[in-house]
Structure 1
Amino acid sequence: MKIFSKEQIYQGDALTAKKQNITSTELMERAGTQIFNWIHMRMQGAQVPIHVFCGIGNNGGDGLVVARHLITHGYNVKTYIVNYSTTRSKDFLNNYDRIKNTTKDWPILLNEDSELPAIDARDIIVDAVFGIGLNRPVASWVVNLFNHFRVTKAFVLSIDIPSGLMTDAVPTNEEAVVNAGYTLSFQSPKLVFFLPQTAKFTVQWEVLDIGIDPEFLYTTPTEVDLIGKNEVLPIYKPREKFSHKGTFGHGLIIGGSYGKIGAVNLAGRGALGVGAGKVTAFTPKCGYIPLQSAFPELMLITDKDEEKLTKIEFDVDVNAIAFGVGAGTDQKTVSAFEAFLKSNTKPLVIDADGLNILAEHNNLLEFLPKRQTVLTPHPKELERLIGTWKDDFDKLDKAKAFSKKHQCIIVIKGANTITVAEDKLYVNVTGNPGLATAGTGDVLTGMILGLLTQGYDLLSATIFAVYLHGKAADLLVEELGYQSFIATHVVEGIPLAYLDLFKQPEQPQVEEEEEN
């Protein structure tokens, strides 16, 4: 699913009105009606008090459409105009006239000196104060109104975006943003729904189709894509009947040090679990007995040193390589990594101590295989690589610049893992807090490696692995719980994640009427 920028959304609205020969007011009517239908389907006429707060721009116009339909369908509605400016949009004024012609209970005008309306915790608030066009600080009296929403503990439904939240900036005053229980976003979600500093302003979100021109939606390139099942299904490569282990490639994992051999074990299980034909590990000698004993499917080559990597030499032909899991940052390991980088021509996944070495010795970045390297940092490793950032948007800008400069892919691991491929972002929808435990990143490294060995291109392997990794956790965490979830559970969930790709949604059962 594409995530459109604010400018693209305006462009799509205008193009839709032109191509469908409708006015912007008619498009607003369509959008507001969709919001009403969503509410009506769930409430079925229930007389819970609904407070609709409308700004004086187009978001407020949407709110007036919703309020008018709620009124005409017999709901218990109070409508408010948050009068924060003397400027009103044309479509707002059109719908203001319509609601005044619908009911004798005209909207209540709220100004700076107005009393805060009485709202009960069992009531519903529809937030239509500000939309995506907000470009100024929120007035202090409006901030007080938003704080009043929070104090009442009423359920808040935001239209398109929680009021006070911008599409391309982190708020400087969190109290100036509505905390929505649910946000109904027109046509596509907003990037701010997925970033750590801004996702907290809506508990849940849903996209409503308001009939934006299909050609515009399909052909307009976006900087951000949302990755779910529909996006990864076309990536999947089915297996042929006469294929064999050689068909699915050979991966090499270079890593491990004394006390950190388990990281190689986890990465190897991830690689084989996702479908690699063969996987070999290159570790210090101390890894030999643990890996050969605990992981019979994994082949092994060892360094001459007992405890650390000192010279990376192997005589196997592989399709892709992963470096860094559990490797440590001893100077001899750094030297070995440098020599390896200068000679390597295979696709490369770098994680953990490999990233720490690159951050400490950034001259090595020039030896990364161009457009054949994936870096998989957690937040602290990312900071060491690209430097500190002011906020989430600055972080993304710096990650894109780094990716572009070094022609590599960066996987920013987090609640919504984001894959950065130069100027393009891919936001993953799977995963949960159960993944916040040691070793899950090692499994992901192995999974990317395992897909690369099977012939997936670098970007597809990364996006697909991130999706499967999160989905594996989602499918098992319901029975295991967040706190008890460990990295090996991700490996156990990979088969379920694959099977889920082809699972059809359950259809609701309709009870047959009994014969008289």
Structure 2
Amino acid sequence: MEKIFDSVRELDKRAEDAFNLKNGVLMEHAACGMVERIRNLLSSRLLYPQNIQGRSRQNNALDLPSSHIKFPQAELPLVQIVCGSGDNGGDGYALARILADFCLVRVVLVKEPKSPLCKLQQDRLSLLGIPITDMLQEHCDVLVDAVFGTGIRGSLDSEMSALIERMNAVQGYKIACDIPSGLNEFGMPSPVAFRADETCTMGALKTALYADAAKDYTGAIHVCNLGLPRRCYEGETGTFLLSVEDMKLPHRSVQNTHKMSYGHGLFFCGEKTGACMLAASAALHFGIGLVTVFGEPVSAAPFDFMYTLQLPENFSAAMVGSGLGRNSDTQARALGFLSQEHVRELPLILDADILHNTKLPTLLSLFKAPILTPHPKEFQSLLANSGLAQVSVAEIQEHRFEYLRLFCGAFPQAVIVLKGAYPLIGCGNQVFVNPLGTNALAKAGAGDVLSGMITALAAQGYPSLEAAYTASLAHAEAAKLLYTSDYGLTASALAQATGRLK
């Protein structure tokens, strides 16, 4: 689990003041971090196209005055670095200077430096005689975007948009310095933005990199060290990046046991019985001891579940919403079920249609451990029905972290799993980001499977937050077990795959 920050400006300032890392020292270390990353990529030969063989400095470099420093003739990888006028451009100039030790470096000037550090780094580069040009080559081994940092506002102008389009068309491995140019401070892209294979972000992870819209632009995300341990650079935060190591699967270590040792999940079945069956199936595959389907009769029902029209006396968690439907009578029965005192004390997993009910927010404050799993449209209803915000889905997607924190602040006992390209799990003043999601999960029924998995863990005694983020991670990992294409996954196969995780 790693820390994520909305902004690192205060962290940079604290590093400069508390650790005396002033006068561009942080920038030098940022450049060194990118150099190390590029060196590792080159040494692993991951970036080498066939035509790198035979490339030499003399047939690729611009002509230099004889008074400037000469470099040995050698077969070198070509790295193009496109530099802007601010500190992001300064990072690029510093990177070029250090890379020149083992790469053919070509610096592309976008605009003359404006920030003092950018000007200083350009001056240092000029002393080495490394060429600076305004022409972008169509082929290289590595292309580095050091044009804009995290502070752009609005959309790029036509000139910058045209530049980014040319950069995107370059054949070569693309790396963004800190954040891809064209993404704003919230991670939302301009109509044109740089599409990186990976992003080297400086010092610490930023929430902008984990906006849903940013996922098509950042590629893999790596943190570059700024010359001091991250534990010293980073401060306090309430936002964290999950990893597969945070996933605690429901393995069984005790031999003398029985089905009720692993929980009894109640699934409230409404109009769309297939969705409820998917959720119940996922729960059974994910370790729950007993599943009971309560409510609407189910035709051709699997034999693995118990079925009843009478509410069982003992169950350890309940799921309401998957396939519930919008019928007023069915919704009223669901609310009546949720209103019972002994039910309110149990872990309750709420999904899909129940999340649109205008009366749900009033009940939420009475629940001991509710877990809600909305997609953005359902979350829009929750915000509106709670009286917290009347906003569009687009507005929610642009400010996912902010609206999730708003809702969690109003219902601190609840856990919210906000679905998306980067699922967010919120509870109280904390937000956790699941980076493992895949577009293969964009299928009907995948969300029902997730709700069933969460129910399984909650029924087995997992704390609500741990149940939510473990199931979210396992959901993505199960999809990988089935990954033969990005379009062929089915929810029923996904439910079965949850039982094959190690």
Is TM-score (shorter-chain normalized) higher than 0.5? yes
SS at match of 2:212: coil
Alignment match of 2:146 (pick from 107, 121, 128): 128
Spell out, residue by residue over 1:366-415, the C-alpha distance to the aligned partner (whole angstroms, 9 max, x if none). 11244511221233333333352443233443343233324432222222
Native 8 Å contact 1:184 1:206 kept in 2: yes
321 and 68 in structure 1: CA distance in 2 versus 1, 3 angstrom threshold:
same
Which residue type is aligned with residue 119 of structure 2? L
Q: Which residue of 2 aligns with 1:279?
A: 291
Q: Which residue of 2 aligns with 1:184?
A: 200
Q: Which residue of 2 aligns with 1:381?
A: 378
In the alignment, the residues of structure 2 paired with residue 488 and residue 224 of structure 1 have an alpha-carbon distance, to the nearest angstrom, of: 33
Report the CA distance between 1:37 and its aligned residue.
Answer: 2.1
Q: Which residue of 1 aligns with 2:54?
A: none
Q: Which residue of 1 aligns with 2:15?
A: 16
- Alignment of 1:168 with 2:186, yes or no, is yes
SS at match of 2:399: helix
121 and 215 in structure 1: CA distance in 2 versus 1, 3 angstrom threshold:
closer
In the alignment, the residues of structure 2 paired with residue 486 and residue 140 of structure 1 have an alpha-carbon distance, to the nearest angstrom, of: 43
Q: Which residue of 1 aligns with 2:28?
A: 29
Alignment of 1:111-510 (within 5 A): 117-122=135-140, 124-134=142-152, 138=156, 140-168=158-186, 170-171=188-189, 173-175=190-192, 177-216=193-232, 220-233=235-248, 239-257=253-271, 260-285=272-297, 287=298, 290-291=300-301, 294-296=302-304, 298-302=305-309, 313-343=310-340, 344-345=343-344, 346-356=346-356, 358=357, 362-368=358-364, 369-370=366-367, 372-386=369-383, 387-391=391-395, 392-407=397-412, 408-478=414-484, 481-497=485-501, 499=502
- Alignment of 1:100 with 2:136, yes or no, is no
The worse-fitting range, judged by mean Cα deviation, of 463-472 and 235-244 is 235-244
Report the CA distance between 1:472 and its aligned residue.
Answer: 0.5
In the alignment, the residues of structure 2 paired with residue 401 and residue 30 of structure 1 have an alpha-carbon distance, to the nearest angstrom, of: 37
SS at match of 1:290: coil
Which residue type is aligned with residue 261 of structure 2? T
Native 8 Å contact 1:245 1:278 kept in 2: yes
139 and 438 in structure 1: CA distance in 2 versus 1, 3 angstrom threshold:
closer
Q: Which residue of 1 aligns with 2:388?
A: none
Report the CA distance between 1:434 and its aligned residue.
Answer: 2.3
TM-score, normalised by the number of residues in structure 1: 0.80
Spell out, residue by residue over 1:429-487, the C-alpha distance to the aligned partner (whole angstroms, 9 max, x if none). 22322222222221111111111111111111111111111111112213xx3333211
In the alignment, the residues of structure 1 paired with residue 23 and residue 254 of structure 2 have an alpha-carbon distance, to the nearest angstrom, of: 52
Which residue type is aligned with residue 254 of structure 1? F
- Provide the aligned length of Structure 1 versus Structure 2: 459
Alignment match of 2:78 (pick from 49, 61, 64): 49
In the alignment, the residues of structure 1 paired with residue 22 and residue 220 of structure 2 have an alpha-carbon distance, to the nearest angstrom, of: 31
Native 8 Å contact 1:54 1:81 kept in 2: yes
Native 8 Å contact 2:348 2:370 kept in 1: yes
SS at match of 2:197: strand
Which residue type is aligned with residue 430 of structure 2? K
Which residue type is aligned with residue 107 of structure 1? I
Which residue type is aligned with residue 174 of structure 1? P
SS at match of 1:426: strand
Q: Which residue of 2 aligns with 1:88?
A: 115
Report the CA distance between 1:20 and its aligned residue.
Answer: 4.4
411 and 242 in structure 1: CA distance in 2 versus 1, 3 angstrom threshold:
same
Consecutive unaligned residues in structure 1, runs of 5 or more: 109-115, 303-312, 500-516
- Alignment of 1:60 with 2:85, yes or no, is no
The worse-fitting range, judged by mean Cα deviation, of 397-406 and 436-445 is 397-406
Q: Which residue of 2 aligns with 1:511?
A: none
Native 8 Å contact 2:422 2:434 kept in 1: yes
Native 8 Å contact 1:146 1:178 kept in 2: yes
In the alignment, the residues of structure 1 paired with residue 311 and residue 247 of structure 2 have an alpha-carbon distance, to the nearest angstrom, of: 34
In the alignment, the residues of structure 2 paired with residue 14 and residue 413 of structure 1 have an alpha-carbon distance, to the nearest angstrom, of: 35
Spell out, residue by residue over 1:141-164, the C-alpha distance to the aligned partner (whole angstroms, 9 max, x if none). 333322322344554321111123
What percent identity do the matched residue pairs reach? 27
In the alignment, the residues of structure 2 paired with residue 120 and residue 71 of structure 1 have an alpha-carbon distance, to the nearest angstrom, of: 20
Which residue type is aligned with residue 290 of structure 1? A
SS at match of 2:38: helix
For the aligned residue pairs, the C-alpha RMSD in angstroms reads 2.8
The worse-fitting range, judged by mean Cα deviation, of 405-414 and 42-51 is 42-51
